[in-house]
Structure 1
Amino acid sequence: MPKRIFPIPDVLNPFKGKKQRIMNYNPVTGIASRKPAAEVKITVFNFKQDHCIEEVLQNINEVFQYTDTPETSWINIDGIRKEEVHAICTRFGIHYLIEEDILNVGQRAKMDEIGDQLFCVLPMIYFNHQSCTIEQEQVSIVLGKNFVLSFQEDPARDVFDPIREKLRINGFRTRMSSADYLCYTLLDVIVDSYFIILDKLGERIELMEDVVQHEANNRTLARINLLRRELLLFRRAIAPVRELVNGFLKSENPLLDEHTMKFYKDVFDHIVHCNDLTDNYKDMVFNLQEQYHTQLNLKMNEVMKVLAVVTTLMAPLTVIAGIYGMNFDNMPELHSPNGYFTVLGIMVLILIIMIILFKKRGWF
């Protein structure tokens, strides 16, 4: 199952539960720590310009018939188990270092060129609408002569359905191209899906801009922090993809046709744009935090203003009450029958005059 980039509490109750951070460290030569998938689904597209064979295989041995075919084969494995991955890598002549990278979890996006094969690993990212959090799964792609292997963790979802639909259409460009163009389409659809995540995060940022204006409280601050954390972790996940695509552009491997390089350049432009948008959103979230503190200061200033006005209004009344509260026998008006009402009237009159004066000065 895909793991969350960073487990967080429900945004509707940001103080529910405890925060947890799971750090994955798997060196290249380490033992794979991945839990075996309960189900492995293998989908094969074997195609050329005038025909396309689509199969869903249950037995790993059925894949081996596509090892050496004149047509282009796309073999997609949903669900990672060590036995199946080892059997496929052995049959297709994939280096054991690539096999370990496929099996290991928490890999940083990268591109490797080993022998006559190209390998890349990158995150496929989804937006969980229920918890408003980002989830990711690791996708590994191996490009060889006349074949592309893709390994995914979750058989329940991916972003490759548009490619499958295009492969079923006669005369479509992917059907008439080689394996390097198919590899480009896989990278392109993954990178394009990042913009969908950015749209969702952008909507959350716009929503929080309105919330901060009206609800500058601890709950709002918690929601801003959750949004900032998701955005930073999204940025951390996609930032290395830029170098990954750049690795294809710099490669001189004969598997990459010169006419296909302009398409990889287009993917590179997309991932650069995506990183720029992420940086812009990061700045917007930091501005949200500053706006939150500004709203708090404004509310505090309003409270202090009210307290200052009340204190100022009560100051002369307190002085008068203090004077007439002194315990002396010989005081003017002390024994006057109307002394209490006279002093009380004077105090009310002073209060009214001060309120009118403050209103004219615009102090409240």
Structure 2
Amino acid sequence: MTYGLEVTLMIANTTAPPRSAMPAHPAIHAEFLDFRDRSRGLLHPAEIPAEIAAGRFVWLDVDRAGVTAEELTALLPDGLVHQPAVARFFAADHGDAVEDGRTVSALSRTDEAIHIRLVGARDATEGIISEILDVVIMSGLLVTFHQGRCGVLDAVRGDYISDFERHAATPSFLVYEFWDKQIDQFLSVQRRLDEEVETIRLALRQSADEATLTRLADVSSRLLALRKRVLPARRVLEELVARKTTLISEATLEFLGKMIDTLERLLADITANREILESAMNFSLTVMTHRTNLTMNRLAVVSTIFLPLTFLCGVYGMNFEVMPELEWPHSYAVFWVVSAIITVTLTIVLKRARLL
């Protein structure tokens, strides 16, 4: 099998003792990282306690979509199964798509572990979709839980090996990697929304049709959904940096502290985009109101000109028996001359008043 060959090659490149060549379960991924000789390799979950005892760091990843709680209990070591920070996930059902506002990034601490819940943002056609990644940090062990595919986890897997081999000094570099990729995901969504905001702004300068207004409402709701995910993430990061811990190195905490400024700028950009949309909408409504006022002014001017003419027509259209003007020899011509004089006079007056 290709997968078995890949695992065999990865283990052969390390200086660690022989280990299992096949994973225990497709949804469970365990590997060790040895910072003393920069070696790494795959593990069977049963080998985790021995690796930690040997001074190596272990990363255990569990895809909850592909494994049941019973299977996890059977495959993982008893010492890990009964860890409070890990055991809670055996019964909890964590999805990767949740309704806006119901699940946010959070942080919980104990003396033995730190649990970080990262709620990411994936931009889809139906809106901003949440991706939940739970990271549990313990002495010598990091466990990640997710439901199905996770964009942040995929991004970390693409980069962490080179970072580990080149400059990683402590296991807490993985914590930095997760936060870095999470913020990159936020920024990626924000960049796409930036482009849509500019497109809508230009469209509103032309016309505020129904399609443009619908798109504006959609982008505005996605900006709000992104903000609801970034704001709790910033609070979690601030809380994480505020307290020192032996599970995360001071150097990593310092780098994480700098990420707070990035999230602050991101929140400012989100607010600016929402203000741009609001300003563009107000401008469009102002233009529409101005055009409506011009139309109403023209209609009022026309009504003003025809009002006296309508009065004359109404008077001489009544069937009174005695109406001397009707007997005049040139009464019809006089009517049109009077109507013309009234029309010209009103036109001149309205033009001088800049109403026409």
TM-score by length of 1: 0.73
Q: Residues 90 and 189 of structure 1: is their aligned pair in 2 closer, same or farther, counting only changes over 3 Å?
A: farther
Q: 2:32 aligns with which of 36, 46, 49?
A: 46
Task: Select between 133-142 and 353-362 the one with higher mean Cα deviation.
Answer: 353-362
Q: 2:105 aligns with which of 105, 109, 113?
A: 109
Give distance in 2, aligned partners of 1:108 and 1:89: 30
Is 2:63 the partner of 1:71?
no
Query: Counterpart in 1 of 2:142?
Result: 148
Q: Residues 348 and 96 of structure 1: is their aligned pair in 2 closer, same or farther, counting only changes over 3 Å?
A: farther
Is 2:304 the partner of 1:312?
yes
Give distance in 1, aligned partners of 2:352 and 2:166: 76
Q: 2:218 aligns with which of 226, 233, 245?
A: 226
- In the TM superposition, structure 1's runs of 4+ consecutive aligned residues that sit over 6 Å from their partners are none
Q: Residues 71 and 281 of structure 1: is their aligned pair in 2 closer, same or farther, counting only changes over 3 Å?
A: same
Q: 1:165 aligns with which of 158, 168, 184?
A: 158
User: What is the CA deviation profile of residues 141-187 of structure 1, one whole-angstrom value per residue up to 9, with x for unaligned ones?
Assistant: 111223322222232x513444333334387445x322211111111
CA contact (8 A) 1:116 1:253 kept: no
Q: Quick one: percent identity of the two aligned structures?
A: 20
Query: Counterpart in 2 of 1:137?
Result: 131
Specify the SS of the correspondent of 2:355: coil
Give distance in 1, aligned partners of 2:243 and 2:231: 20
User: What letter is aligned with 2:187?
Assistant: F
For residue 139 of structure 1, report the CA deviation from its aligned partner: 0.9
Query: Counterpart in 2 of 1:182?
Result: 174
Query: Counterpart in 1 of 2:10?
Result: none
Query: Counterpart in 2 of 1:302?
Result: 294
Give distance in 2, aligned partners of 1:201 and 1:107: 22
Specify the SS of the correspondent of 1:363: coil
Q: Residues 352 and 217 of structure 1: is their aligned pair in 2 closer, same or farther, counting only changes over 3 Å?
A: farther
Specify the SS of the correspondent of 2:122: strand
Give distance in 2, aligned partners of 1:89 and 1:134: 37
User: What is the CA deviation profile of residues 287-326 of structure 1, one whole-angstrom value per residue up to 9, with x for unaligned ones?
Assistant: 4454454344334323422321221121122122123223
Q: Residues 282 and 217 of structure 1: is their aligned pair in 2 closer, same or farther, counting only changes over 3 Å?
A: same
Q: Residues 247 and 339 of structure 1: is their aligned pair in 2 closer, same or farther, counting only changes over 3 Å?
A: same
User: What letter is aligned with 2:47?
Assistant: Q
User: What is the CA deviation profile of residues 102-133 of structure 1, one whole-angstrom value per residue up to 9, with x for unaligned ones?
Assistant: 834454311111232111102121111x44x2
Q: 2:207 aligns with which of 191, 198, 215?
A: 215
**Structure (1/2) with the larger helix percentage:** 2
Q: Residues 77 and 230 of structure 1: is their aligned pair in 2 closer, same or farther, counting only changes over 3 Å?
A: same
Is 2:117 the partner of 1:121?
yes
Query: Counterpart in 2 of 1:5?
Result: none
Query: Counterpart in 2 of 1:8?
Result: none
Specify the SS of the correspondent of 1:253: coil
For residue 208 of structure 1, report the CA deviation from its aligned partner: 2.5
Give distance in 1, aligned partners of 2:153 and 2:85: 26
Is 2:248 the partner of 1:262?
no
Q: Residues 242 and 298 of structure 1: is their aligned pair in 2 closer, same or farther, counting only changes over 3 Å?
A: same
User: What is the CA deviation profile of residues 215-237 of structure 1, one whole-angstrom value per residue up to 9, with x for unaligned ones?
Assistant: 33555444433333322222222
Task: Select between 108-117 and 39-48 the one with higher mean Cα deviation.
Answer: 39-48
Q: Residues 230 and 266 of structure 1: is their aligned pair in 2 closer, same or farther, counting only changes over 3 Å?
A: same
Matches within 5 A, 1:264-303: 264-303=256-295
User: What letter is aligned with 2:84?
Assistant: Y
Higher Cα radius of gyration? 2
User: What letter is aligned with 1:100?
Assistant: R
CA contact (8 A) 1:143 1:179 kept: no
For residue 254 of structure 1, report the CA deviation from its aligned partner: 1.0
For residue 329 of structure 1, report the CA deviation from its aligned partner: 5.0
Q: Which runs of 5+ in 2 are unaligned?
A: 1-24, 95-101
CA RMSD, 1 decimal = 3.3
Give distance in 2, aligned partners of 1:298 and 1:64: 74
CA contact (8 A) 2:60 2:143 kept: yes
Specify the SS of the correspondent of 1:111: strand
CA contact (8 A) 1:224 1:288 kept: no
CA contact (8 A) 1:249 1:261 kept: yes
CA contact (8 A) 2:106 2:117 kept: yes
Q: What is the aligned residue count?
A: 317
Query: Counterpart in 2 of 1:236?
Result: 228
CA contact (8 A) 2:160 2:177 kept: no
